[in-house]
């Protein structure tokens, strides 16, 4: 489906000499890529371009390997038009989403469909060199096994704040050795493709938006993804785009002050932080103390078996009816809810998505949280508000990473630079 | 400077038949309007358009009355090029910024420069019919006295939440009679121009951004404007654009829960709201009680003189050394600061601007607020954070209203619809 180099080159020369053509070509490709138009007549109707402009641009896009011609479409009385499709296999996206203790790798096409993926236990604290070498090995395995196209973009998610433009983690508390490490500089020459680095919860928020896209207008979607795992963090979308803030620190809500309980000591050194009251590590700390004294219930059994507890034990025990686990899940949900209520009044999102290991207690967590948010937020801000559980934390991160790359690669500004060459390979983001 | 109708029409026909031309024309006009280019050679360098395309588009823009040719510019060795300027007087922006008890009117050019303005006491509670009739009268006076051009846009700011697209206030607590009132429907047929309606604090945030534009990159500016007046509200900018949220309610932080004091009864019916502890009306309530018992100090004198206090008496008395006023200003600042600290961790803005009558206590308010925010927010989120006082509440609202209109009128999407006609008059926003 990809054009031969010589044919592509002749199109290229014209494109470079005439930016008007580049602009209308971008419009045509985008209408097909986003499935707003699937045939030449439809392209004409929606773009207002004349018939000859449409067919010239479509030819150019086919030469560049970005559009492909499919079967005959439905007839509208006359001759049935050929269906046009975006060539999602023109390139691939290689991605890695690192959590604190695990990592997911995937290779997707240019629409974000997963071609191959794998998931591994991995300690982010082993540092960037070992982690990125591991990534290269595992991605190579995925690519080999799947005959994936060459990469058009690389995406890395990490569990800490990131300076998005430079691709460097900034003072990430649980990522020793990563502070200021230039991930882009490591990956771009290796893959010959632009690399994007972002916080993992930001990617989960983007992934949720992709899932919600079927029912919501993504271009206008204001969303907050709240992750209640070992720590607590948020990913924020503003009009469907990640809001990263001035230092890439936006969403770091784990250390905001909590109404009421202000005696809990936090691992950050302050007292009264949200995490120190409602985070998985704080619940584990309190529950381990409790089961040492009284080893009853499911938590007692788990502790006797392993000698320790982890955050995901708590929702499991709560579902098995352990009273102390239930109590802690409700406490966590109500405390998180107070913070979320303030954020809802401030930010007025369409949707709050709740994920993370503690939130996996399901309805128990969600119902307690909803109750507080709906009673404490401004009525207007909750009038249409939906509070929904996350679908699957690993899946969301991978979906979101692909969406991030697609949004950047096919932005009009950036397409202007790479389109005349036919692919963004060897172009780095500005 | 405005072209004759017949000449404009011939250009129009070509524009309509060729969207490629419209797109490059928008690029040319925008480069001159935003002062990125001031001559044909500069336009060529920056746009990458060839010399003949640049000069054709410039001619068309001059025919449409949007660009004007000025003096000879600096020579670069050869013949000195003519300076190109955006014709800011091609149209005007008529605007009104209503507060609870006052209103500012202005007529500006298409760059936001004020041609004429006035300021009046006005009670928003008189309702939309009387308020908008008053607006029409006063705007007519401004236009008559200044020979302002025809309006290209109307902007109205109101002290409550607004559904931006429809231009309707939604459940505004201090604006009886305005709930759901269609302001656009009232103004658009009257002025024959599109009307935009927004919350007043949103406009102030935009106005501050315009002021900060000289030193900050507005396109990337994340800003929170906190207004501590009688009530408490915030205006939020995300990448230089107003973040309004799902229901236009974003920024309504006055009724979020406050850490610590949870006994104060709020006018909204809840307890422990930020406004009920730190808002001007709550301070007045507490101070009136106090001076009734003990009429000493500047507040005692003001109360004896008038029989009541208003929020702006408090910073005045504090500056005169009244101990109770000083205490209340510090209490307000520290309470607001706790909420702002959470917002800073969540949103990671570049700048927090603090305005409103209570904040007019100046350094006393600002220093107390800064102290708490810098000690309570995430270190990374405050690393480059600036917390600055607002310049002038009235001026900011007017500046911001003009910026809002300019941003909408000259957005690429919307320019595509009106540019072939030469002006956005009689085009309504979608």
Answer yes or no: is pLDDT of B290 > 70. Answer: yes
What pLDDT digit, counting tens, does each position of A66-77 carry?
999 987 766 667
B379 contact residues in A (CB cutoff 8 A): 171
In the DSSP assignment, the letter for residue B429 is -
Please state, for a pLDDT cut of 70, what percent of chain B lies above it. 92
What's the number of CA atoms in the CB half-sphere (13 Å) around residue B101?
Answer: 7
Å between A380 CA and nearest CA of chain B: 7
A245 contact residues in B (CB cutoff 8 A): 222, 347-349, 381
Answer yes or no: is pLDDT of A81 > 70. Answer: yes
Q: Any idea which of A377-381, B144-148, B175-179, B249-253 has the lowest mean pLDDT?
A: A377-381
> Residue A273's closest chain B neighbor by CA?
B376
> Six-digit token pair at A253?
């809500």
Q: Sign of dihedral through CA atoms B323, B328, B334, B337?
A: negative
pLDDT on residue B7: 38
Answer yes or no: is pLDDT of A61 > 90. Answer: yes
| A345 → closest Cβ in B48, B255, B348 | B255
Beta-carbon separation of A348 and B381 below 8 A: no
More confident position, B183 or B427: B183
- Across A79-83, B33-37, B417-421, the highest mean pLDDT is recorded for B33-37
Beta-carbon separation of B346 and A256 below 8 A: yes
B339 contact residues in A (CB cutoff 8 A): 342
> Residue A16's closest chain B neighbor by CA?
B48
Q: Any idea which of B28-32, B118-122, B263-267, B287-291 has the lowest mean pLDDT?
A: B263-267
pLDDT on residue B154: 97
**Averaged confidence pLDDT in chain A:** 88
d(CA A163, CA A142): 28
Nearest partner of A358 among A256, A287, A262, judged by Cα:
A287
Beta-carbon separation of A246 and B161 below 8 A: no
Task: Output phi, psi for B234, to 5 deg.
Answer: -135, 150
Mean pLDDT calculated for residue range B318-340: 95
A234 contact residues in B (CB cutoff 8 A): 346
Beta-carbon separation of A24 and B23 below 8 A: yes
Band the pLDDT of A337: cuts 50, 70, 90: very high
Mean pLDDT calculated for residue range B379-406: 90
What's the number of CA atoms in the CB half-sphere (13 Å) around residue B395?
Answer: 9
Answer yes or no: is pLDDT of B337 > 90. Answer: yes
CA A278, distance to chain mean position in Å, is 24
Question: Which of B164, B234, B249 to probe the A interface (max A CBs under 10 A)?
Answer: B249
pLDDT on residue A393: 62
More confident position, B198 or B78: B198
Q: How many residues does chain A have?
A: 430
> Residue A220's closest chain B neighbor by CA?
B246
Mean pLDDT calculated for residue range B234-248: 92
What pLDDT digit, counting tens, does each position of B11-28 carry?
455 555 566 678 889 999
pLDDT on residue A377: 82
pLDDT on residue B429: 61
B21 contact residues in A (CB cutoff 8 A): 20
Per-residue b/e over A21-48, b at no fewer than 16 CB within 10 Å?
A: bbbbbbbbbbbbbeeebbbbebbbeebe
Give CA separation, A188 vs A88, A104, A155, A192, in Å.
22, 20, 10, 5
Question: Which of A16, A20, A269, A387 to probe the B interface (max B CBs under 10 A)?
Answer: A20
Å between A264 CA and nearest CA of chain B: 14
Please state, for a pLDDT cut of 70, what percent of chain A lies above it. 92
Contacts 24+ apart (CB under 8 A), B372-377: B372/B333, B372/B334, B372/B337, B372/B338, B372/B340, B372/B341, B373/B337, B373/B340, B373/B341, B373/B344, B376/A257, B376/A270, B376/B337, B376/B338, B376/B341, B376/B342, B377/B341, B377/B342, B377/B344, B377/B345
Beta-carbon separation of A338 and B234 below 8 A: no
pLDDT on residue B262: 64
Answer yes or no: is pLDDT of B9 > 50. Answer: no
User: Residue B140: CB partners within 8 Å, gap ≥ 6?
Assistant: none
Under 8 Å between Cβ of A175 and A160: yes
More confident position, B426 or A167: A167
Q: Is A50 helix (H, G, I), strand (E, B) or coil?
A: coil
pLDDT on residue B389: 93
A23 contact residues in B (CB cutoff 8 A): 20, 23-24
Question: Which of A49, A179, A345 to probe the B interface (max B CBs under 10 A)?
Answer: A345
Beta-carbon separation of A346 and B346 below 8 A: yes
Beta-carbon separation of B247 and A348 below 8 A: yes
Question: Which of B49, B380, B420 to probe the A interface (max A CBs under 10 A)?
Answer: B380
pLDDT on residue A93: 98
Band the pLDDT of A328: cuts 50, 70, 90: very high
> Residue A268's closest chain B neighbor by CA?
B378
Mean pLDDT calculated for residue range A316-324: 95
Answer yes or no: is pLDDT of B10 > 50. Answer: no
Beta-carbon separation of A244 and B378 below 8 A: no
pLDDT on residue A128: 97
pLDDT on residue B41: 92
Query: For chain A, how far is it from start to end, CA to CA, in angstroms?
Result: 30
| B251 → closest Cβ in A21, A253, A346 | A346
Beta-carbon separation of A246 and B339 below 8 A: no
Answer yes or no: is pLDDT of B5 > 50. Answer: no
Beta-carbon separation of B245 and A222 below 8 A: yes
pLDDT on residue B18: 67
**Averaged confidence pLDDT in chain B:** 88
| A338 → closest Cβ in B53, B257, B260 | B257
Answer yes or no: is pLDDT of A195 > 70. Answer: yes
| B222 → closest Cβ in A222, A245, A380 | A245
Q: Sign of dihedral through CA atoms B144, B146, B151, B154?
A: negative
Q: Sign of dihedral through CA atoms A308, A311, A317, A318?
A: positive
A246 contact residues in B (CB cutoff 8 A): 222, 348-350, 381, 384-385
Mean pLDDT calculated for residue range A290-297: 94
Nearest partner of A139 among A197, A208, A201, A190, judged by Cα:
A190
pLDDT on residue B76: 67
What is the DSSP code string of A335-368? Answer: HHHHHHHHHHHHH--SEEEEESTGGGGTHHHHHH
Beta-carbon separation of B247 and A381 below 8 A: yes
> Residue A270's closest chain B neighbor by CA?
B376
B161 contact residues in A (CB cutoff 8 A): 380
Mean pLDDT calculated for residue range B352-361: 91
pLDDT on residue A192: 93
Neighbours of B423 (CB within 10 A): 20
Task: Output phi, psi for A107, to 5 deg.
Answer: -120, 125
| A250 → closest Cβ in B23, B256, B347 | B347
Beta-carbon separation of B249 and A345 below 8 A: yes
B259 contact residues in A (CB cutoff 8 A): 257-259, 262, 272
A20 contact residues in B (CB cutoff 8 A): 20-21, 23-24, 49, 53
Answer yes or no: is pLDDT of B158 > 80. Answer: yes
pLDDT on residue A19: 65
Å between A277 CA and nearest CA of chain B: 14
What pLDDT digit, counting tens, does each position of A251-270 carry?
999 988 886 666 788 877 77
Tracing tokens 């994936």 back to the chain, one arrives at A148
| B245 → closest Cβ in A249, A252, A349 | A349
> Residue B220's closest chain A neighbor by CA?
A246
Answer yes or no: is pLDDT of A162 > 80. Answer: yes
> Residue A57's closest chain B neighbor by CA?
B20
As to burial, measured by CB atoms within 10 angstroms (0-12 exposed, 13-18 middle, 19+ buried), residue B58 is buried
The reported pTM is: 0.83
């Amino acid at each position: 489906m990809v054009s031969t180099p010589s044919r592509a080159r002749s199109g290229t020369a014209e494109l470079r000499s005439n930016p008007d053509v580049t602009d209308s070509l971008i419009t045509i490709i985008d209408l097909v890529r986003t499935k707003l138009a699937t045939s030449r007549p439809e392209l004409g109707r929606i773009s207002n371009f004349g018939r000859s402009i449409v067919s010239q641009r479509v030819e150019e896009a086919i030469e560049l390997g970005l559009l492909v011609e499919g079967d005959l479409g439905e007839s509208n009385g006359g001759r049935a038009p050929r269906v046009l499709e975006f060539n999602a296999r023109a390139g691939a996206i290689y991605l890695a989403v690192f959590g604190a203790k695990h990592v997911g790798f995937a290779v997707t096409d240019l629409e974000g469909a997963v071609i191959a993926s794998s998931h591994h236990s991995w300690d982010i604290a082993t540092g960037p060199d070992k982690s990125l070498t591991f990534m290269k090995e595992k991605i190579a395995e995925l690519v080999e096994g799947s005959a994936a196209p060459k990469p058009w973009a690389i995406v890395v998610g990490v569990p800490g704040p990131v300076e998005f433009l430079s691709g460097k983690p900034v003072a990430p508390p649980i990522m020793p050795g990563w502070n200021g490490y230039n991930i882009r500089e490591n990956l771009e020459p290796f893959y010959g493709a632009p690399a994007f680095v972002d916080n993992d919860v930001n990617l989960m928020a983007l992934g949720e938006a992709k899932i919600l896209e079927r029912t919501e207008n993504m271009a206008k979607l204001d969303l907050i993804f709240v992750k209640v795992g070992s720590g607590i963090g948020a990913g924020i979308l503003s009009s469907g785009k990640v809001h990263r803030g001035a230092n890439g620190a936006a969403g770091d809500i784990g250390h905001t002050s909590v109404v009421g309980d202000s005696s809990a000591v936090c691992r950050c050194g302050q007292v009264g932080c949200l995490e120190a009251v409602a985070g998985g590590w704080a619940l584990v700390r309190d529950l381990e103390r409790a089961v040492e004294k009284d080893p009853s219930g499911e938590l007692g059994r788990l502790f006797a078996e392993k000698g320790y507890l982890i955050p995901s034990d708590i929702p499991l025990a709560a579902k098995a009816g352990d009273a102390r686990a239930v109590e802690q899940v409700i406490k966590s949900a109500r405390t998180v809810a107070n913070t979320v209520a303030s954020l809802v009044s401030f930010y007025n999102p369409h949707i709050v998505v709740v994920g993370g290991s503690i939130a996996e207690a399901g309805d128990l967590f969600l119902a307690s949280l909803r109750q507080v948010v709906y009673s404490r937020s401004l009525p207007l801000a909750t009038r249409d508000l939906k509070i929904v559980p996350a679908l699957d934390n690993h899946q969301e991160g991978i979906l979101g990473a692909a969406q991030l790359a697609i949004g950047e690669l096919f932005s009009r500004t950036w397409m202007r630079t790479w389109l005349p060459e036919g692919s963004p390979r060897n172009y780095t983001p500005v």
